[in-house]
Amino acid sequence: MSHARTVGRLIQVCERWIYSTCLCFGLDAQEKERTGFRYSYSAYQVEYSRNLLFQRGNQLEEVFQRMVDHTRGRLTVPQLKTLFGAKRRPHRDRKQSPPRLEVVLETSTYDLTVFKVHFGNLSLKAYTKGECVLRFEVTVHNTRELGCGRLIARFPEIVHRLRSMLERFLTVLDCVDITFISDQTLDQLPLPSRVGQTRIGGVDLNKSRMRTALAATLALAPAPMGFSLAQFTAKVQALAGQSEGTYTRRQAAYDLKRLRGKQLIVKVGSSRRYQVPSNSARTIAALLTLRDKVIKPLLGGIGKPKRGRKPSTWTTLDRHYEQLRQDMKLVFHDLGIAA
């Protein structure tokens, strides 16, 4: 669809459709030939998707649910849409005959979860399509948003840009799902840095404003065309529950400059938009997860002895926390730290 010859085929399809369905025209065939009248076609909404194929449906469900669990909170996805099916996905080998539930079309036979992120007229979505297909999709609801024209002659460029956006979305999902942080990052972040000739302060994770700025940056990382200062300011205000007077654009601009000094974000060309590189997305997600999901709960759990019965829902992660809490008590005792 991104090849140049696709334009001619699309025009042929449009010509066949319009001349076979329209019953009357302003000009007859001779007048059209004499005046050179013709129709011009454009694309208003375009979708581009990529499918991942699995041999077994239960493997697809495990991979997708794990990705949703890890990335939903980090990307601040407001809600998930889930359609609950009547049965679980089939677990079978290819040699076996297909089960009867595969021919049931009236009702869903498996759970369907839609993971969607909106950026204006652009939507990024991940969902299951069938029993063994995981689909990632980017939709532009108004092609004017792409800034490359909407005529059919520009269709290959539209497809190319959507493909680039989808590949970036997949890269961000992978980086946010599997995070990484080097042993020197925590020491280097609070140190001052430079952006051009300007000396600016470092990134102090002990300050709530800086943690909120990092969380907003990570939430805007999947933005297909980058994010602006206004979008960053609005996201920080939404995450912190602050008003425009509490967190201003001037403060947001300085926070962005501090993140640029640590190469956590970069400018998109010569524009005033910003993007989060792949390695930076891994680092930011790791920093926030380390503080909020590891250090903070462990320190809080060690200082407060557990009492009463265990909750009815005791997940694998809860068991890991309990084991870490007991082990950290011994570590603190050996190091001489009073818990």
For residue 249, the model assigns a pLDDT of 93
13 vs 75: CA distance, rounded Å = 40
In which band, very low, low, confident or very high, does the pLDDT at 166 lie, cut at 50, 70 and 90? very high
Statement: 185-287 belongs to CATH 1.10.10: yes
For residue 105, the model assigns a pLDDT of 36
Give tens-digit pLDDT for 116-151: 888 888 999 988 887 888 999 999 999 998 988 899
161 vs 77: CA distance, rounded Å = 24
Chain-wide mean pLDDT for the chain?
A: 82
Give tens-digit pLDDT for 31-79: 878 888 888 899 999 999 999 999 888 888 888 888 888 888 888 776 5
Each domain of the chain, given as residue ranges in start order, spans: 5-35, 46-95+102-177, 185-287, 305-335
In terms of Cα–Cα distance, which of 65, 11, 6, 7 is closest to 38?
A: 11
Query: How many helices, marked H, and strands, marked E, lie in the chain?
Result: 11, 9
305 vs 293: CA distance, rounded Å = 19
% of the chain with per-residue pLDDT over 70: 85
Tokens of 218: 């990570």
